[in-house]
Structure 1
Amino acid sequence: MLAVDGLEAAYGDSQVLFGIDLRLEEGEAVTLLGRNGMGKTTTIHTIMGLLSPKAGRVVIGGTDLTGAPAYRIAQAGLGLVPEGRQIFPTLSVEENLVATSANRGGGKPRWTLAEVYRFFPRLAERRNNSGKQLSGGEQQMLAIGRALMTNPKLLILDEATEGLAPLIREEIWSVLETLKKEGQSILIVDKNIDALSRFADRHVVIEKGLVVWAGTTADLAADPTVTERYLSV
């Protein structure tokens, strides 16, 4: 589904990534972990074509799309839930969802308005409200629903539950767990290891733009020093 090899990226003269390697197979959920400022969002932006790589390769579904523009990456089947949600504040909930809808795989789409509303009943209740009238949790649900409406092969979430109330956070985790059980491929950046471990197959830890550890959920649980060394504040 996704193969990243030796990925390097920079903002001007400031290099942030120094050779990221990452693999994600169809149907897998993989996390990207690390403290703030270690390169997680930069990795996502470079994969998504929002930042041009200095070196390395990004292969999606067997096609080399290194340095391709963001629209080509989206067409290849990657759907992004960005950090900070970035919904359209003046559009209604339904307009936000319809604005990004696509069915690039052909056939009957998996994700429709009805399916998104089934997953997020609160969005159905507020379908005519503008984005700016929603709570933070509702906006995050909308951001996820908007990405799902592109019918992505791979759903990428950057800081999926940051700043949300505990009950809303738990609702988001339950949705992602259900998506994983239904076969959705997921790449997620977040800090809640316990919740991530409920559904993630593997974890990749980044420190200062380098992968310093990678392994399964069982591997992570068996080695508490990983959390203490690379993830604790």
Structure 2
Amino acid sequence: MLEHGDGYVGEIVDVASDSVGLEDRRGKVRRFPYGRGLYFEGVEIELVKASQSRPATAARDDRSRSASGSRAAADARARTALPSRIFVEGRHDAELVEKVWGHDLRVEGVVVEYLGGIDDLTDIVADFAPTAERRLGVLVDHLVPGSKESRIADQVARTPAGRFVHVVGHPYIDIWQAIKPQSLGIRAWPDVPRGEDFKHGTLKRLGLPHGTQEDVAKAWQAMLARVRSWNDLEPALLGRVEELIDFVTVHGER
């Protein structure tokens, strides 16, 4: 059994080219990239990818597992929604989370809502009034040191209810970039100059229709259709969503 610094404990159940999956005692799987940060019997170890490792296709092909890699509860009914919630920035974020973690969310009774941006997150948190039994998890884009998003997250953490709110994020400018380029048949996500709309600029550089919001919507639906499981997403997003699900399904003081 391996342990992460945040207390997550699990055993390795699958290996991918850029990460490993650890399954906890509840059958939930979190992804961890190769390198340091995991502990075995209290000693930090470094995970190294084997040079001749076998491709890890079990999670994609095993019908006993959900798209997130967790054990699928085929006969489980959706639970009554918990008072806790997960907020994400936009509609595309919510749709991607539902595509991969929808089964897990329904089994746990977790509702995901999108905000349309996080500029007013401090006020949103105050209105939600989180408590130990009514927690709030928030997933934001571009949560890197010095960014606007990191400053907002710090403001939330300093509020009276901050200990019942968990703000996490990925380093990408937009949730689109959390999809592996290879899964979409492109070599890499194009660079879009700062100040230019990311989505329209991305489609323009990919040679796709990009003039209207309808073009953006059609392109996103085509991308989303190519996402079949966690294998199609970057580890930087996988671990963060698992963190939020764990946070809002635990009751009591932190």
Q: Scaled by the length of structure 1, what TM-score is found?
A: 0.25
Larger Rg: 2
Higher strand share: 1
The answer to which structure, 1 or 2, has the higher relative contact order (CA under 8 A, 6+ apart) is 1
Q: Scaled by the length of structure 2, what TM-score is found?
A: 0.23
